[in-house]
Each structure stands twice: as structure tokens, then as C-alpha cells.
Amino acid sequence: MKKIIIACIGIAVSVLFINAKMNTKFPEKIDFAGEETPLNIPDVKERMDRELVVNEFMHGSTILIMKRANKAFPVIEPILAKYNVPDDFKYLAVIESSLTNAVSPAGARGVWQFMPQTAKEKGLEVSETVDERYHLEKSTEAACRYLIAAKEIFGSWTMAAASYNGGINGLQAQIDFQGVNNYYDLLLNEETSRYVFRILALKEIMKNPAKYNFVIPQEELYKKQLTRKILVDSSVGDLAKFSKLQGINYKTLKYHNPWLRDKKLDNPAKKVYEIEIPEVK
């Protein structure tokens, strides 16, 4: 009986220790784009905690995101800065696609997950042979244009971020119905109500990886390969042959230019495209 009691006490102490350890991880304060999250509101704190716990213990997914960020963020960050869009929006790209050229069941594509019509409205080309939703630089610029417009409508970056998921019209309808325009005061559908907290959780974990037990050696992070850009202002009938002329293979061409969506490039309008060619050592 003594052994059982001692074992139970040991387990209880361990649980308390683990809980205490986990509780010390919860941030005292956090903000999105300089707009403070009201963690003093009980449901807000619980929603934040949920996303922290989920993402902290989704080890494989979170590790891969951190590895990809080392390659993607240096491309995204200067574009956000150029458009005066807060740097925190790079974490919106993280939760949208895990920094991959993802395809959603609804038809959204690319790192920024644009639907075809929205992509075209924001200046991206979407055709049978070219889909700039897969072009990281151009799709980041399109995302900036969307977010700036949403900020002008809603008056806050937090609401602009929420509208990226819930839609401008959808969010406005809830504001009109509920009579409040603060994200943390609105009752929204589950996906949109979690959306900003998911961004905040990834921001917190990725800025403080060791605190959440993510220690990835620098040499294991993915790196962007050195490339040169060539200009093409005509149609290319066979991209495999074109690749060989550049000293690379077709797979390598498509890896560095995922926006090329076919075996050819149709260009009757003589548009100038920049195609990235990796520097071969």
C-alpha cells in the first residue's frame, strides 16, 4: 500500500510540475501588428492557449514550417516592408499554406491561397499555362494589396487579417448584425474565430522556438538557391527543350518557376516574364 501511495504522489507531483512548466510558457502579452491581444478576457486567453498547445505538439508540421521559413521569409519580408504592411503578416502565409504551394479543396492555390477571381482582381495572371498564385514574389504583392484595402475598410490590421479568411463581405455582415467591429468582440464561425489566434500562436512559437522545445540546427534549415533571371517575351513551345538550352533539366525549371503550369508557355501578347535559372556550381 505504501508503494502505491508513494507512486501516486510521484505521479501527482510530476503532473503538477508539467502543468507548471507548460503554464510558464504562456506569454504575458502578445500583439498582432502592434495591436495588443486582450488576454485578460477569459475566452480570448483560452482560444490563444488552444492554438499554442495544438501547434507546439504538432512537431513534424511545425518543424517543417520553421525550415521552410528560412527560405521563404527573406523573400516575403522586404515585400511587406515595401508596401508598409506589418511584418507579422508573414505568419498569415504560414497558417494559410505552411509555406508550400498548397491547393485547397475550394480551389485556392499558392503560399497565399488565392482563389482565381481574387487573384485576378489583385493583378495576378491566372491562365492555362501561367498561374502567378504560385509566384511567391508576385502573390505576396497581391496579398499586400488585399490587406491594405481591408485595413482601410475595417480600420485595424487584426480585422484585415480576419477578413483574409472570413471575407470582407462576410466580416462586414457580422459587424452590421452584432454592432461591434473588434475581432475579439465578434462571434464568428469557428474557422475565422480561430484564424488570428493561429497566426499569433505560430508567431509566438517561431519567434521563441527554444521556449517551445524546437531547436533546429542552422545547417538543417532550407536555403534559397542562388539564381539568375532571364527575360522571355515570346511563347515557348517546349519547356523541356528550353530547360536544356539553359543547362538545366525540366524538373529544375519547374521547381524554381512553379508558376509555369504547362509544358509550354503561351505568350501571344509578348508579355515579359522573368524566369529563374539556378546557378550551377
pLDDT digits (tens, 9 = 90+) for 183-206: 999 999 999 999 999 999 999 999
pLDDT digits (tens, 9 = 90+) for 67-126: 999 999 999 999 999 999 999 999 999 999 999 999 999 999 999 999 999 999 999 999
Q: Does the pLDDT value for residue 180 go beyond 90?
A: yes
Q: Does the pLDDT value for residue 42 go beyond 60?
A: yes
Q: Does the pLDDT value for residue 281 go beyond 50?
A: yes
Please tell me the predicted confidence (pLDDT) of residue 14: 44
Domain boundaries, the chain: 31-220, 227-278
User: What fold is seen in the domain 31-220?
Assistant: Lysozyme (1.10.530)
Q: Does the pLDDT value for residue 267 go beyond 60?
A: yes
Mean pLDDT of 136-163: 98
Mean pLDDT estimate for the chain: 92
Residue 265 · residue 234 · CB < 8 Å: no
pTM of the model: 0.90
Confidence of residue 280 (pLDDT cuts 50, 70, 90): confident
- The pLDDT > 70 percentage for the chain reads 91
How, if at all, do strands 35-36 and 227-232 pair?
unpaired
Strand, coil or helix: 230: strand
- The pLDDT > 90 percentage for the chain reads 88
Q: Does the pLDDT value for residue 21 go beyond 80?
A: no
d(CA 101, CA 112): 8
Mean pLDDT of 164-177: 98
pLDDT digits (tens, 9 = 90+) for 200-234: 999 999 999 999 999 999 999 999 999 999 999 99
Q: Does the pLDDT value for residue 270 go beyond 60?
A: yes
The string of DSSP letters for 132-180 reads GGG-HHHHHHHHHHHHHHHHHHHSSHHHHHHHHHH-HHHHHHHHHHHS-
Mean pLDDT of 144-158: 98
